[in-house]
Structure 1
Amino acid sequence: MKPLFLLITLSLSLALRAAEPGFPKFASASVNPLATEAAVKAYQKGGNAVDAAVATGLTLGVVDGHNSGIGGGCFFVIRAADGSITCIDGREIAPSKAHRDMYIIQGKVDDEASKTGALAPGIPGALRAYELALKKHGKLKLADLLLPAAEIAEKGFPIDEVYERKLAATAEKLRKFPASAAVFFKADGSPLKKGDILVQKDLAKTYRAIAEHGTAWFYEGEYAQKVEAWMKENGGIMTAADIAGYKAIEREPVKGKYRGYDIVAMPPPSSGGVHVAQILQVMEHFPISKLSDAQRVHVITEAMKLAFADRAYWLGDPDFAKVPRGLVDLGYAKDLAAKIDLSKTTNVPSHNMPPHWEGDIFGKHTTFTCSADAEGNWVTLNQTINTAFGCKVIVPGTGVLLNDEMDDFSVQPGVPNAFKLIGAEANAVAAGKRPLSSMSPTIILKDGQPVLCTGAAGGPTIITQALLLISNVLDRGLEPNAALKQPRFHQQWAPDELKIEKAFGEQTLEDLEKLGHKLDKVTTFGACQAITWDAERKLLVPAHDPRVPGKADGQ
């Protein structure tokens, strides 16, 4: 499962009636109870939602490390108490020796090299992004948030069923790397099971070193030197200079409209913000709340298909590719909506052409968890190391799992990645470039005040999970926990199939097949979190996905 953990820090003002438990001062939700508890403790120390988000992120890197950690990257969307919006890009970057054809080995594409081992990681950005978020909007120091997470890593914690499942699925690859095997396997060579205590002493030492010496220890000091030495011994290309040169940057948010609400989301290299807004704006041309289940799924699926076709062609790092702002143009959404036939599926052979695609582009350098506080700070944080356990490598002596984010590039245009996504030249590998991401941290506002925030984990399904949560709350009037219990579906254009949870029931599934959809029926997928504001009770209402272990809590 891709990224991540979902951390949302929310605040203030959702005009939705919720009977679900809420909190007057602060709320947080994540995929692990220890991470949510870290958020609450950060707030109790005098922190705000931003501090809580970082605390959750750092703790998830310990207790949910198969999804995210300081060896990976992240995106922040922050609506601060003063009303300002900050988008922080902590996405990984391709090393300086990376190039378009680096995965063509002996004349053939080696797509495993972008997923496992020394050629798979990008330069990690999570720590730099945490640091920037705290500097702009936090109240606590990074060390205040690192040390409690270090203690959990050192003492250990019992792994849950999700951790056990991910570990079992990747055991053979993890065994190839001694430092990884030493952490995740028992003395008899078998992987840890649910309830076994996972102790990560080297990771604890790394966290404490960063707390004492600052992020320079990681980016410019001992950590970077250890990574470079390992890369040289194992055929990698990342250098200490690459790591030292990493910068987290601020970007202008994606802004969209949906039924009188304002959408604020992460811009490219996140594709999530663009396409959550794009799909919702297409959906606005249909009476979603009045449709039958099959009709509703059909319309939204067709909108997903159109958006993912655009994603495959247009989306990439805006510092390298011209990504049109017209993808979220309301007129373009109307044109796409007109292509949807209510009586049958429509073939989508390729991308469409948004308005002003030649010149009006997104500017250069401009696990998901959530938390919120009564001051008005809302923070959505998506972070990841990509596939389970990233590239499977722990550099000896560091405890840090490296990401495999190079697989989020198009290793060659048209070649599917681990999530069956394909891309074009806009997302081709290049030195210093950030790979395209599906992470979709999103905040919804009404009359300038935040009312809902959400995000998810699960590769490209992150986009569709987020928009379905938004639609279930805004279109169907569901409370956040009830909205997360609704069955899900996902269509990403290629492959042309509708991934759909069986909980919809046989009749709806049959009706969709009659409309022409090829179904991939699954029991469950994804992991989404959300927070809403109950204006009547003046409470923040956090919600975590019932499909995975997690916790929603507050003060």
Structure 2
Amino acid sequence: MKKIVLALSVCCIALVAHAELPGADYAQVSPDGKVAVASVNPEATRIAMEVVKRGGNAVDAAISVAFALGVVDGHNSGIGGGCFILVRLADGRILAIDGREMAPAAATRDMYIVNGKADPELSRTGALAVGIPGSVAALDKLQKLGGKLTFRDVILPSAELAEKGFPISPALAERMAATADNLAKFPASAAIYLDKNNQPLPAFSILQQKDLAVTYRAIAKQGPRYFYHGDFAKKTGRWMAANGGVVTDKDFANYQVKMRKPIVSEFAGYTLYGFPPPSSGGVHVAQILNILEQFDLDALAPAERYHLIAEAMKFAFADRAHWLGDSDFTKVPLSLADKRYAQTIAKKISLEKTTADIAHGNPDVDIQHLMNKHTTHIAAADMDGNWVAITSTVNTSFGSKVVIPGTGVVLNNQMDDFSAQVGAANAFGLVGSDANAVAAKKRPLSSMSPTLVFKNNEPVMTLGAAGGPTIISQVVQTLLYSLNDSMPVEKAMAQARIHQQWNPNVLFVEAAMPVEIQQALQKKGHDLKIWPSMGASQAIQLRDGKLVPVAEPRVILQNQKKN
């Protein structure tokens, strides 16, 4: 095993030096060592540590991060979107809280079909793109189940931040610039993110969101009722009616958090808990690792291992396109995560060449859009036994680009995660079948993969990622290197990543991978697409009795360069 670990280590030379940096602004442990948090934004992590100082536990800290990210990272997540929460509470319960967005009651199977063909713009921008947000309800549920503080306690610090303002990061400025044309279509959105000439605000200028602060304070005072039954729902319903949408205030009133049964699997002597449908993450992380486990991983050269990982991903994503959807509406065969099924797939994989006979269509895909980072992941843990994994999103950058006037809340475009038409790709290049077709009150399929890892029935790791469909591949690779190869999680996270989602039939490879390995993969038949940097993961590992939080080294490195 040691030989393979050393061989793999050459793949992360460009990143590992930065992975070994403390990254204290992003990943922090409380002074007493009892609570750890890792997020994608230093301001969000700072707020979490403030909440911990006031007596909060890991649950309180994670929720405070989620609200803070809605302020400083609103292009990726916020209360206008949804989330999946996987939590192990101090009393030993392991819960999967589904706060995924829900289609409005007036949604129909062909609502995005124009002249016989899916119009992707309808499901990505504007009123018809919006699903009913679930984050507020799900976070409130988590607070009631395991928090020590009140919902008010964990929300108000972010309300203060929204009102006071913060310097716009280079990453946020880039997203504003990339989406400025669409943001300009909606006056309330333009008023926040663009200047008087509809130009994006520059990096390091101060962004104040006073309407969002008012909304946060109203939720802090009235709880989720304000959002789902009060003024927020009514304002949204009125705006939708005036702007061609089908979402109503009744849709908000009818939203419900779902409690799901986690996907449980075994790998390398560890027990993994993943999120079930409407997430595809839990099923396919387990499926890919099950396939890999059929091979002698420690005997493979680095190029052979990357090839095997890519082939396992390809089979899993083909199954995703055909089988996965909201399990309340379609029968999802959970045997996809069974080791016996993995054995049948493993027999089809050659270590010498790629598998060519997997067919489900191959539509055109916007590669640049596919590989952009979206979504965000929050990891939190404490020594009392609370371990939290929250993946939250508004889908693509600034979601639907809609901000309801007077609220400051960016609404999601999660309706694009449905299969608008069988075989038609969504914004991430993912295709689907009728299992993920649009239907009233249905939840769209997701790649979000919050994961908890146990050893001898005790939690040892919480992790997840952001980055569209690469979420699944990131989590798989971090688990492979940390659990099978015994790498510290920061080193596991720094390995050069790959991603193969079956459609398009392209193997995305980070530039940090040595050229000789790239060439070996090409000889096996892989069509390589070199990518500078892929994804953004967060994790916390229990190591030598201490909590070790790790924020994505790629994000830290990129922000250091831009700053």
- Is TM > 0.5 for Structure 1 vs Structure 2? yes
Does residue 1:335 correspond to 2:314, yes or no?
Answer: no
Task: Map residues 80-91 of structure 1 onto 2, 5 A cutoff.
Answer: 80-91=89-100
Q: Which of 539, 546, 549 lines up with 1:542 in the alignment?
A: 549
**Equivalent residue number for residue 470 of structure 1:** 479
CA distance in 2: counterparts of 1:448 and 1:206, whole angstroms = 41
Corresponding residue SS for 1:548: helix
**Equivalent residue number for residue 489 of structure 1:** 498
Deviation at residue 472 of structure 1 after TM alignment: 1.4
Deviation at residue 20 of structure 1 after TM alignment: 8.6
**Equivalent residue number for residue 278 of structure 1:** 287
Task: Map residues 336-485 of structure 1 onto 2, 5 A cutoff.
Answer: 336-350=345-359, 367-485=376-494
- Deviation string 1:20-73 (CA, Å, 9 cap, x unpaired) is 978531111000001111221222211111111110001001110000000000
- Deviation string 1:373-407 (CA, Å, 9 cap, x unpaired) is 00011000000000000000101001000000000
CA distance in 1: counterparts of 2:170 and 2:553, whole angstroms = 14
**Equivalent residue number for residue 159 of structure 1:** 168
CA distance in 2: counterparts of 1:407 and 1:103, whole angstroms = 10
**Equivalent residue number for residue 328 of structure 2:** 319
Deviates more, 1:81-90 or 1:36-45: 36-45
Task: Map residues 40-439 of structure 1 onto 2, 5 A cutoff.
Answer: 40-350=49-359, 367-439=376-448
Whichever residue aligns with residue 550 of structure 2, its letter is: A
Deviation at residue 550 of structure 1 after TM alignment: 9.4
Count of matched residue pairs: 517
Structure 1 gap segments, 5+ residues each: 1-17, 352-366
Whichever residue aligns with residue 252 of structure 1, its letter is: K
Corresponding residue SS for 1:487: coil
Change (3 A) 1:550 1:56: farther
Whichever residue aligns with residue 475 of structure 1, its letter is: N
- Deviation string 1:496-549 (CA, Å, 9 cap, x unpaired) is 010110110211111100000001111112110111001x3x210010112114
CA distance in 2: counterparts of 1:62 and 1:28, whole angstroms = 18
Whichever residue aligns with residue 292 of structure 1, its letter is: A
Deviation at residue 287 of structure 1 after TM alignment: 2.7
**Equivalent residue number for residue 37 of structure 2:** 28
Query: Percent of aligned positions with the same letter in both sequences?
Result: 53
Corresponding residue SS for 1:407: helix
RMSD: 1.6
Change (3 A) 1:519 1:550: closer
Whichever residue aligns with residue 126 of structure 1, its letter is: S
CA distance in 2: counterparts of 1:90 and 1:331, whole angstroms = 31
Corresponding residue SS for 1:382: strand
Does residue 1:527 correspond to 2:536, yes or no?
Answer: yes
CA distance in 2: counterparts of 1:193 and 1:503, whole angstroms = 30
Give TM-score scaled by structure 1 length: 0.91
Deviates more, 1:91-100 or 1:77-86: 77-86
Corresponding residue SS for 1:499: strand
Corresponding residue SS for 1:257: strand
Structure 2 gap segments, 5+ residues each: 1-18, 23-27, 361-375, 559-563
Corresponding residue SS for 2:553: coil
CA distance in 2: counterparts of 1:440 and 1:348, whole angstroms = 28
CA distance in 1: counterparts of 2:220 and 2:293, whole angstroms = 48
CA distance in 2: counterparts of 1:108 and 1:469, whole angstroms = 39
Give TM-score scaled by structure 2 length: 0.90
Change (3 A) 1:248 1:465: same
- Deviation string 1:435-470 (CA, Å, 9 cap, x unpaired) is 000000001111101111210001000000011111
Q: Is the 8 A contact 1:32 1:549 kept in 2?
A: no
Change (3 A) 1:84 1:550: farther
Q: Is the 8 A contact 2:20 2:490 kept in 1?
A: no
CA distance in 2: counterparts of 1:76 and 1:221, whole angstroms = 25
Corresponding residue SS for 2:479: helix
Change (3 A) 1:289 1:164: farther
CA distance in 1: counterparts of 2:270 and 2:465, whole angstroms = 20
CA distance in 2: counterparts of 1:546 and 1:461, whole angstroms = 16
**Equivalent residue number for residue 359 of structure 1:** none
CA distance in 2: counterparts of 1:19 and 1:72, whole angstroms = 33
Structure number with higher helix proportion:
2
- Deviation string 1:268-299 (CA, Å, 9 cap, x unpaired) is 00000110011011111123244222111100
Change (3 A) 1:467 1:372: same
Deviation at residue 347 of structure 1 after TM alignment: 1.6
CA distance in 2: counterparts of 1:171 and 1:472, whole angstroms = 39
| Structure 1 outlier segments of 4+, above 4 Å | 18-23
Whichever residue aligns with residue 187 of structure 1, its letter is: K
- Deviation string 1:78-137 (CA, Å, 9 cap, x unpaired) is 011122101000000000000110001244321110000000010000000001111111
CA distance in 2: counterparts of 1:347 and 1:269, whole angstroms = 29
